[in-house]
Structure 1
Amino acid sequence: MVPVLSGLGVGLSFKEQKELLMLHLERDVEIEKLRQNARLQEAEMAQVQDRQKLDLERYRLELMSEGKLPPETRRAAETVGQVPVNQAFDIAVSLRIVLRFNEKDPDILFVLFERLAEARDWSDVERTLLLQCVFTGKAQEAFAAMTAEDSSNYQLVKAAVLQAFELVPEAYRQRFRLLRKEKQSHMEFARDITTSLNRWCVSSQVKTLEDLQELILLEQFKSTLPDRVVTYINEQKVNLVSEAAKLADEFTLTHKVFFGDGRGDAGYKESSTGAH
């Protein structure tokens, strides 16, 4: 038998008590739904407020970098709470220790910045916020061309900036191979070629001994091919010498060519039937 609801079920039949109990259960479920919706709305409102704070801080830094917001105004704003300052991440303080962007050697910023970011445990949003404050020229243009979502992803920002400076694996390879000692000590030159090789390996995603082996084999293989075939292989962005060999065979068959002893146009001759 269904228990009589205290103060509510007195004098009611079994069926009426059951219906009353179901109404109470439905009411409790509805109340819980309303509470969950309220919590969700609070969480969404908190996210909106965080984004607004981030946008406000970004705008404030832009004004500071342009000299439109004097330091006195900044300190006063922080004091009265007009611009909330994150105790764990103070962007104004962090910005002082970030290396300035150098267009002649753009990837050095990322190397040093990543070490600093790891040590300080900065999130992707914090990293990209700091970077956009130091970007100039091509880097700034590349960042501005990104979507709002992509511009908050550190790896995408890094890739876009390096791409703008044409710092792709082939560019790093050429840098390494063409590097020559200038007015520097032998120790400094050794450090430069080590850094150049490391950048080539990192950009080529070399992580294991097998990856390094493929990198060397691929370069040696391409050094025996005509320029046009090498260009075709590079455009496909392959990392394995077996893949490069397959592409070279496909290119040869498609264009009906045969190779001479030399490299480039001298070693690349069209057949009498013409290319397709």
Structure 2
Amino acid sequence: MDQTVCCYRHPDRETGIRCTRCDKPICPECMVNASVGFHCKDCVSQQGGTHVQARTIAGGSIAADPFLFTKILIGLNVLVFVLELAIGDRLALDLGLYAKCSHGPGTPTFGCGVADGEWYRVLTSAFVHNQPSPVHLLFNMLSLWWIGAPLEQRLGRARYLALYFVSALGSSAAVLAIAPGSLTIGASGAIFGLFGATAVYMRRMRYDMRPVVALLVLNLVFSFTWANVSWQGHLGGLVTGTIVAIGMLYAPRNRRDLVQWGTCAAMLVVSLAVSAIAVAQVTS
């Protein structure tokens, strides 16, 4: 049974509207128009006027193009894929996630791996996809647009980018820790982080979570049952993105920046530490 939400100033009035700045429930009498949504009278009085700068639910700035960075991420992935078609498998081997390559009779001598100092792979691998077929890229980019664009709008650009890249690092850490012997590529680990963040957002806003939970379960089943799919990367990205989103969306207002960026920094350190330990074990 859903809990009844009432205006914070008028407990006898039910409402489905919340202040876009502090998230308090407000009735029509307590709404003050903002450039995006409505603000409560407390937020307006704190700013000393009838208009305050609109913010996302996570405290980010409202951008003129709320989907710009999602478009840029998609463009970068497409650009790398075009380069793959032009250069061939060499690019995927040089940029993909690999702990340590093998050298010896009959073995490839491409690149080396993270164990040989190529730490850029923990991020560049998230921009490489299978070729020549565009199916892998197409599926990931559609998911990035459907899931990522709304999150960028709701979190703000800086927080969205932090979520994406920290999720990608968490995905790489899980792969290095669990399956260090396989070459892993694709943006799906970071996208699973966005899935987790979407679930946290819907919980935070008290929306019906059944659609996103069903979609997430289907993707997890796909990850564990299909061949050549890195369930390790998907799970690592999901866990990392979920934790980062909890820090961003449930941070207390008076310490919002500290909690949000502290959570991102903590998960960044954990991801790199797990990666370093995994690589050290492979080297030894």
Q: TM-score w.r.t. structure 2 length? A: 0.23
Of structures 1 and 2, the larger Rg is shown by: 1
Structure showing greater relative contact order (alpha-carbon pairs closer than 8 Å, 6 or more residues apart): 2
Q: TM-score w.r.t. structure 1 length? A: 0.23
More helix by share: 1
